[in-house]
């Protein structure tokens, strides 16, 4: 296991270099000269020339790429073009709200969707199963924007059960009890239907295997068969779904953050895109890419823990 982890960590190096090269090409060749974006601020030619020197744009492309690699290695992407604040410090203040929102949403979605999926799969083919499947299909066809806008208007504005938007930078408890309940409720409603359909399909597949019939023939109770044998084997796709979602916890839920005024990474990314703030966009892109590789490795390790028969290569 240790040798496998070391080997995978070494493999991340060329992968990250490829990501950095792709990001560099997209932002420097496809994205054009950033000084023309800053020119909209009515800067003088002398000021634009100084900006090009500060950004390293007066250097050759290889030199600019190595400068970008140095920024990634030191995690120092300079200052934001829009706010002139240090990018690293800005992102550090945005991670907390995103993790609070997306982390709580992931836990609530899992605790809600998985039991429903197991129960529906157990009664597969019944009227309950067909009704839940139909409801999930209808719910999945509705845009997440509809959930957010209607929920925010009805529950926040009309009924006044929750604040429409807001965030307290000084009190985590206030955020959890006051500002997060409505975004979490709407986020669970959006993600519940696809998750139930996804988890149900794998539980049903496991219920049709021979080992389930063998366990029942041995006289094991249905709860023991379902939770000890079936659910453990069905956890592999569940782990896949969760670990693929973990890197994006840092981004939070961009739409929820934007509509509810939550100062997270997702909201920061949308603001950076609106203002063509390339240093912020590059920093978030590299961060998510690195997190994705780490959590993919974590997923493989979890596979081995859940099913010792899995061979890691």
Query: Pick from 47, 219, 179, 203: which is nearest to 119 by CA?
Result: 203
The predicted structure's pLDDT at residue 8: 77
Contacts of 192 (CB under 8 A, 6+ apart): 109, 112, 113, 116, 136, 139
Structure confidence by residue, pLDDT tens digits, 21-33 = 888 887 776 655 5
Q: How far is CA 33 from CA 67, 121, 269, in A?
A: 16, 55, 20
Between CA 137 and CA 73 the distance in angstroms is 45
pLDDT by position in tens, the chain (length 313): 667 777 777 888 888 888 888 888 877 766 555 666 555 556 666 766 776 776 666 777 788 788 888 888 888 888 787 777 888 888 888 888 888 888 888 888 888 888 888 888 777 777 887 888 888 888 888 888 888 888 888 888 888 888 888 888 878 888 888 888 888 888 888 888 888 888 888 777 777 777 777 777 777 776 777 776 677 777 777 777 777 777 666 666 778 888 888 888 888 888 887 777 788 888 888 888 888 888 777 777 776 666 555 555 5
By residue count, the chain amounts to: 313
Q: Look up residue 155 and give its DSSP letter.
A: I
Predicted local confidence at residue 164, as pLDDT: 84
Backbone φ/ψ region at 264: left (φ over 0), alpha (ψ -120 to 50), beta? beta
Render 22-48 in DSSP notation, one character per residue: HHHHIIIIIS--HHHHHGGG---HHHH
Q: Nearest-CA neighbor of 251 among 141, 71, 106, 150?
A: 106
For the chain, the distance separating the N- and C-terminal CA atoms, rounded to the nearest angstrom, is 10
Are 286 and 23 in contact by the 8 Å Cβ rule? The answer is: yes
pLDDT digits (tens, 9 = 90+) for 68-118: 888 888 888 887 877 778 888 888 888 888 888 888 888 888 888 888 888
Rounded Cα gap, residues 264 and 280, in angstroms: 13
Residues 6+ apart with CB under 8 A from 115: none
């Amino acid at each position: 296991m240790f040798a496998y982890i070391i080997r995978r960590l070494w493999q991340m190096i060329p992968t990250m270099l490829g990501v950095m090269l792709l990001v560099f090409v997209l932002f420097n060749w496809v994205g054009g000269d950033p000084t023309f974006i800053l020119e909209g601020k009515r800067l003088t030619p002398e000021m634009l020339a100084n900006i090009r020197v500060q950004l390293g744009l007066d250097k050759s492309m290889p030199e600019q790429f190595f400068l970008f690699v140095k920024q990634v290695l030191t995690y120092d992407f300079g200052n934001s073009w829009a706010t002139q604040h240090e990018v690293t410090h800005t992102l550090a203040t945005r991670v907390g709200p995103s993790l609070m929102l997306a982390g709580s949403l992931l836990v609530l979605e899992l605790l809600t969707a998985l039991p429903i999926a197991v129960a529906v799969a157990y009664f597969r083919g019944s009227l309950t199963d067909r009704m839940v499947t139909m409801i999930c299909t209808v719910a999945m066809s509705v845009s997440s924007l509809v959930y957010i806008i209607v929920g925010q208007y009805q529950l926040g504005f009309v009924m006044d059960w929750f604040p429409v938007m807001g965030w307290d930078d000084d009190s985590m408890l206030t955020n959890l009890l006051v500002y997060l309940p409505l975004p979490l409720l709407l986020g669970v409603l959006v993600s519940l239907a696809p998750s139930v359909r996804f988890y149900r399909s794998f539980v049903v597949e496991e219920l049709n295997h021979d080992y389930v019939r063998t366990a029942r023939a041995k006289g094991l109770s249905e709860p023991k068969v379902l939770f000890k044998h079936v659910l453990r084997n069905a956890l592999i796709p569940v782990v896949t779904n969760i670990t693929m979602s973990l890197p994006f916890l840092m981004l939070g839920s961009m739409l929820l953050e934007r509509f509810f005024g939550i100062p997270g990474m997702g909201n920061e990314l949308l603001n950076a895109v609106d203002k063509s703030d390339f240093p912020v966009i590059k920093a978030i892109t590299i961060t998510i890419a690195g997190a994705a590789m780490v959590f993919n490795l974590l997923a493989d390790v979890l596979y081995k823990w859940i099913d010792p028969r899995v061979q890691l290569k």
